[in-house]
Structure 1
Amino acid sequence: MMRLDLLGISCALCCALTACERQMKDMYRQPRYDTGEASPLFPDTKSMRPPPEGSVPAAIGERSATSSGRGGREELAAREIANAASGPAPMTLALLKRGQERYSIYCLPCHSALGDGDGPVVRRGFPRPPSYHEQRLRDAPDRHFFDVITNGYGVMYPYADRITPEDRWAIVAYIRALQLSRNVKTASLPADARRQRAALPGASGAAR
């Protein structure tokens, strides 16, 4: 009798442990949406829901995940100060190089290396953004590009959580350089640059 009782208890324990393990696996593999994944539950088909109207962030960045979130609040305050800035730092080669680097990471996939909106993901079916070389965007103020990077526009989602304000201004400076490169007048180039252009195949060498 004792042996049967022990056998019964052992079987019960095995079943219980099996159930616990199954529940643990269910916790590990529970249904969820990945970042940016679509959902049929909402009219806009986005699983990531916008914050309630009127809400403001209390902390931001990686350090906001700490127990106190104090580091995240400090970073948020610094970003708000930078967001209020009227424009980028003075134009320097270092600023343009930084802007080119950040642009290549975050903007090039859609906007392309030339800024004409024919990036690699667009060639694979993603909606095409406007070309930076359109007159409308050539005439747009610097702040327009900064705000679009910050808040998103159309199908472009916001990048405020991954691009610092300083880097956003650097990207704006690089966008301006792209626009200038497409529309620069030959007569405004230095003499050595005009000679190099004149030597290109098909170039007349005449100033425009």
Structure 2
Amino acid sequence: MRPAFALALAAAPALAGCQQQMADQPHYEPLEASSQFADGASARIPVSGTVARNAELAPVPDAIPQPVTMALLNRGRERFDIFCSPCHGRTGDGHGMIVQRGFPAPPTYHQEALRRAPDRHFYDVITNGYGAMYSYAARVPPADRWAIVAYIRALQLSRRAAAADLPEPLRTKLNAEATQ
């Protein structure tokens, strides 16, 4: 056997061991104690002003930031039926299927305090949760939150709309159905 080959063959286990030592660097497990820092913790508190990677940095408007169209209302109804109606009911009265199974009833959207609440209130509740309601920020994107807010406003309006507020063709149709 050649001497160079024999030397390489003998050094191979030593080199492999060196590589493994480099892969297994000393490190701390999450929340493990550490003598390196004065507070004894290995986990560090983020610097003041640190922003999460997925944080929404644009300011949130106080009102629905786009025109309320049928497409927006249809999207809002679809999202409302998926995420909100199990507790709030399909009409926003607070008697959804979960409530019928014993969960505490949320407030009705048709009470005066919520009819007067700004659009931003509903957006913030969807985003952050409120009371027994948990946050939907991870489940409902901001555009869909605004669509849900628009649909909630349509539900609120539907309970208080007067026939005189309807366009003439709809009033005629309503009157014809009422006389039948």
Q: TM-score, normalising length from structure 1?
A: 0.59
Structure 1 distance, partners of 2:95, 2:84, is: 11
Q: Which residue of 2 aligns with 1:157?
A: 134
5+ residue gaps, structure 1: 1-53, 59-72, 204-208
Q: Which residue of 1 aligns with 2:63?
A: 87
Out of 78, 92, 95, the residue aligned to residue 118 of structure 1 is: 95
Greater Rg by CA: 2
Q: Which residue of 2 aligns with 1:139?
A: 116
Distance 1:178 1:154, change over 3 A: same
Within 5 Å, which residues of 2 pair with 1:149-188? 149-188=126-165
Distance 1:148 1:99, change over 3 A: same
Structure 2 distance, partners of 1:142, 1:90, is: 14
Q: Which residue of 2 aligns with 1:98?
A: 75
Structure 2 distance, partners of 1:86, 1:139, is: 13
Structure 2 distance, partners of 1:159, 1:55, is: 24
Give the count of matched residue pairs: 133
- The structural deviation recorded for 1:177 is 0.4
Alpha carbons 2:76, 2:151 under 8 Å: kept: yes
RMSD over aligned Cα, in angstroms?
Answer: 2.3
Structure 2 distance, partners of 1:202, 1:117, is: 32
Cα distance per residue 1:138-167 (max 9 Å; x no partner):
111101101111111110001111111111
Structure 2 distance, partners of 1:106, 1:112, is: 10
Q: Letter of the aligned partner of 1:187 in structure 2?
A: A
Cα distance per residue 1:9-63 (max 9 Å; x no partner):
xxxxxxxxxxxxxxxxxxxxxxxxxxxxxxxxxxxxxxxxxxxxx89763xxxxx
Alpha carbons 2:128, 2:136 under 8 Å: kept: yes
- The structural deviation recorded for 1:192 is 1.7
Structure 2 distance, partners of 1:96, 1:151, is: 22
Structure 1 distance, partners of 2:50, 2:129, is: 17
Q: TM-score, normalising length from structure 2?
A: 0.67
Q: Letter of the aligned partner of 2:88 in structure 1?
A: H
Structure 2 distance, partners of 1:148, 1:55, is: 24
- The structural deviation recorded for 1:199 is 3.0
1:80 is paired with a residue whose SS is coil
5+ residue gaps, structure 2: 1-47
- The structural deviation recorded for 1:202 is 7.6
Alpha carbons 2:89, 2:97 under 8 Å: kept: yes
Structure 2 distance, partners of 1:80, 1:118, is: 36
